[in-house]
Structure 1
Amino acid sequence: MAKGKGKGPQGKRITLKMAKNLIRVNFDGRRRLDLSKMGITTFPKCILELADVEELDLSRNMLKKIPNTIEKFQNLLWLDLHSNQLDELPKEIGTLQNLTFLNVCNNKLTTDSLPEELNLLKNLRNLNLGLNCLDSIPTTLGKLKELTDLGVFDNALTTIPKSVKKLPKLERFNVKRNPLPELTEKEEHVDSIKRVETLYLVQEKDLCSSCLKMCRGERDELHKLEDMTPSSSKKLSFPLLLTPNSSAKNKQEEWRVRGTTP
């Protein structure tokens, strides 16, 4: 028998030196360790030496398990594990109290393999559970009061718990391509979620050329309408600021952490 026959793929070996060289500092000052698309099959133990990073990207690998030592990463704000082969998450993930973003999309997770400790992530704002094997959403996720984005698309869900529907800050709730008989096609993307449109002021230098052109055009149209409408009140002027709708802010987030939500 040939040596090594029958063994699974070993994957790429990550050394501490290699991992250190893959740390980047984001525009907001966060340190990000990017180990995505590295062909990793097992969680690299060496990166426990770098557990003070704020962002960890292990997406698009072949990981089957996340060890309980993930609890060492107490500074994590952002954790991306999408597109692996995970069939469970460790309960220790609930100790990452600073986490605001968690993406476990496109794995092999079932409802039973989601640890109850997920409800301890009190600061979590973005949770992506899409493209897994969920047949229900744990009602305990209703305790995540800071959630604004929740993705559960492409699962086997037949109902949505009321505790999740009533999350106070939920703005985007993607339930597409689930066998949910009580939802109409129009309701599929957002199930009775109340959207709040917010206005953000941004400087011209922060916009791309196409957005800048669009906003200038809208501003010029607005000025024309103002010139045609007599008014006795003096309006405030912001010469260096543009006022696009809230999609400007949302787009900035998508450009930075573009996930797999369709």
Structure 2
Amino acid sequence: MAKGKRASGDKGTKITLKMAKNALRVTPEGKLRLDLSNIGITVFPKCLLKLRNLQELDLSRNKLKTIPEFISQFTALHWLDLHSNHIEQLPESIGRLGSLVHLNLCNNKLDSTGLSPEIGSLKHLQVLNLGMNRLTTLPPTLVALTNLTELSLFDNLLTEVPECLHVLPNLRKLNTNRNPVAYTLVDGNAPDCVKTAGNLYLVREEDFCQPCLEKCKEERQRFRKNNLFDHRSQRKSHFSGLITPNSVARGNQDMWRQKTLFSPQTSNKGHARPAEDTNKWSFTYNC
């Protein structure tokens, strides 16, 4: 990683060509890699145009707000990591990175208008990470990413699985966790695209259709009956000399606490603390 001097104010770290060259490395696979991550860069270094033969570029964990149009001149790039910046919009020229295989845009400020449709021109792209942004939809042009195998969309604002993902022939891994996705069951089953994703969707109760809401309530009751009480019975085996230890503990909790906290034999360095209430559970369900 390059070590640069921070400028005063909001100018961030200024990267010189010499600093960039000193940070160049060759990966075990023989690719030329430049790591300028986590050093406070606020502006994409224009001096990098002197290093257009870069194959891997890491500018993650900086303070970049924009990506310049001249990014298209890095035609040899196979791997580009821009995660954890403040990027709000991608330039149209990003579609001209024809050799790009891996693109990480996670944890930025991209909304659906800032995600350029030209991203669909990255024909060789295999891994795309768009997690932790502000996306409500995806550009339909993503249907052209026929080589895409992994797509991350977690922690966005998607309310449905985008239609353009249904026809991607090589998509094997799809992460849409923690989106307000809601869908209607078809013949009692989830749509195939959702089954393939294998995700758990957290949805507000008011967003459910009535059949889904009733089904979730039934599943919750069944879970409590079959799983919660089974869990209690399994824990009993660890207290061979006691009968329903949790109920006994609750019944005597106040008396036990008084004896523990005020007994002269108890040191001030640390008091025994009541066991956690194992009856507190939280539930999330597939709809």
Give the shorter-chain TM-score range. Answer: 0.5 to 0.7
Question: Aligned pair in 2 of structure 1 residues 112, 90: CA closer, same or farther (>3 Å)?
Answer: same
Q: Deviations over 1:122-146 (max 9, x none)?
A: 0000000000010112222111000
- Alpha-carbon distance, 1:8 to partner: 5.5
- Alpha-carbon distance, 1:147 to partner: 0.4
Distance 1:147 1:34 in 2: 25
Contact 2:131 2:156 in 1 (8 A): yes
Contact 1:154 1:177 in 2 (8 A): yes
Given residue 141 of structure 1, which amino acid in structure 2 is its aligned partner?
L
1:13 aligned residue: 14
Given residue 196 of structure 2, which amino acid in structure 1 is its aligned partner?
I
Greater helix proportion: 2
Given residue 90 of structure 1, which amino acid in structure 2 is its aligned partner?
P
- Please give the TM-score of this superposition, normalised by the length of structure 1: 0.68
- Alpha-carbon distance, 1:163 to partner: 2.5
2:113 aligned residue: 112
2:124 aligned residue: 123
Question: Aligned pair in 2 of structure 1 residues 194, 40: CA closer, same or farther (>3 Å)?
Answer: closer
Contact 2:128 2:148 in 1 (8 A): yes
Q: Deviations over 1:25-44 (max 9, x none)?
A: 00110000100011100011
Contact 2:117 2:140 in 1 (8 A): no
Secondary structure (helix, strand or coil) at the match of 1:193 reads helix
2:55 aligned residue: 54
1:144 aligned residue: 145
Secondary structure (helix, strand or coil) at the match of 1:191 reads helix
Task: Give me the CA root mean square deviation.
Answer: 2.2
Any residues of structure 2 matched to 1:1-262 within 5 Å, and which? 9-182=10-183, 191-193=194-196
Q: Deviations over 1:4-49 (max 9, x none)?
A: xxx9611011110000011110011000010001110001111110
Distance 2:111 2:69 in 1: 19
Contact 1:165 1:191 in 2 (8 A): no
Contact 2:157 2:179 in 1 (8 A): yes
Higher relative contact order (CA 8 A, sep 6+): 1
Distance 2:92 2:184 in 1: 32
Contact 1:79 1:102 in 2 (8 A): yes
- Please give the TM-score of this superposition, normalised by the length of structure 2: 0.62
Distance 2:167 2:13 in 1: 44
Where does structure 1 differ by over 3 angstroms across 4 or more consecutive aligned residues? none
Q: Deviations over 1:96-142 (max 9, x none)?
A: 00000000000000111111111100000000000001011222211
Question: Aligned pair in 2 of structure 1 residues 183, 173: CA closer, same or farther (>3 Å)?
Answer: farther
Contact 1:183 1:191 in 2 (8 A): no
- Alpha-carbon distance, 1:183 to partner: 7.9
Distance 2:140 2:48 in 1: 34
- Alpha-carbon distance, 1:191 to partner: 2.5
Q: Deviations over 1:131-166 (max 9, x none)?
A: 001011222211100000000100000012232123
Q: Which runs of 5+ in 1 are unaligned?
A: 1-6, 196-262
